[in-house]
Structure formats: structure tokens, C-alpha cells
Structure 1
Amino acid sequence: MKKPVSAIDEPEPRKVTRADRPPAEGFVVVVDGHFKSEFDTADTAEVSGRGLKSTYPMLQVEIYDAATKVRTLLT
């Protein structure tokens, strides 16, 4: 008995990010010097970073602005 062949839809193109390269746009949460989560606005990145900082106060959390290439330390 032959198995039916299922049609595979084209997968949506996904945005591939690399942890060793800074992004070209948006804002990124940087934890202990490593790029982690990427966001469209600074406010959402800061909320995420502050959530990490409140849960794990020993971490060094920064917000990286890709447009100006500036890191802002969250205290």
C-alpha cells in the first residue's frame, strides 16, 4: 500500500539572527555581553530587560540601540 503524498506549503521566510553579530536595526537586550532578544522599540526591550534584572539581579543587562550603536546599562 502506498502512502499518500502530502503537499508541503512553502515555509515563511524567517529572520535569521546571529548572536556574534550586532543587529542592523531595532533594539536588543544584551545579557552579560551576549545579544539575546531583539525588539522593535526601546520601551519593549527595556521592559524585557528590567524583568530579567528583577528576577536575576546579578546579571549585567544592557539595551543596545542598533541605529546609534549605543549600549545603555540597566540598573
Structure 2
Amino acid sequence: MRKTITLTEETQPRKIQRADVAPAEGFSLVVDGHFKAHYDDEKAAKEVGAELFGRFPMLQVLIYDAATKTRSPLQ
């Protein structure tokens, strides 16, 4: 017997962010030289970065600003 599978919802295409390409807008976390998460405002990026650094102090956590294309350490 074969069961038929019906899709109830259409799947949305995923927005894939490559870790080796710098984002064009917003702020991103850079952990040990790799782009990780993307945020729209700097405050959110700093909060998550500080929480991550608090749990894992051996990591190098930077905030990347796409507008100025600079990386700054957490304060």
C-alpha cells in the first residue's frame, strides 16, 4: 500500500545567506571571522553578540556594519 502525501501549504523559498559574502545592508555578527546572523539594527546585534560572548568567552565576536563596511568589537 502506498500512502499519498498532500502538501497543505506551499513552501516558501528560503533566503540563503552565504557565510563567505558580506551582507549589503544591516548589521551582522562575525564569529571567529565568519558571518553568522543578520540583524536590521545595531542594538539587536550587540545584544545577541554580548549574550553569545557571555556564554563562550573564548570566541572572537564582532559586529559588521554593512553601510560603512567596518567590523567593531563588542564594547
Q: Same fold (TM over 0.5)?
A: yes
Aligned counterparts of 2:39 and 2:49: Cα–Cα separation in 1: 11
Secondary structure at the aligned position of 2:57 is classed as coil
Tell me the residue number matched to 2:42.
42
Query: Percent identity of the aligned residues?
Result: 52
User: Structure 2 stretches of 5 or more lacking a match?
Assistant: none
TM-score (structure 2 length as normaliser): 0.84
User: Structure 1 stretches of 5 or more lacking a match?
Assistant: none
Equivalent pairs, count: 75
TM-score (structure 1 length as normaliser): 0.84
Letter in structure 1 aligned against 2:33: G
Q: Alpha carbon RMSD of aligned pairs, Å?
A: 1.8
Q: Deviating runs (4+, > 2 A) in structure 1?
A: 1-5, 7-10
Aligned counterparts of 1:5 and 1:61: Cα–Cα separation in 2: 44
How far residue 60 of structure 1 moved from its aligned partner, in angstroms, is: 1.0
How far residue 9 of structure 1 moved from its aligned partner, in angstroms, is: 3.4
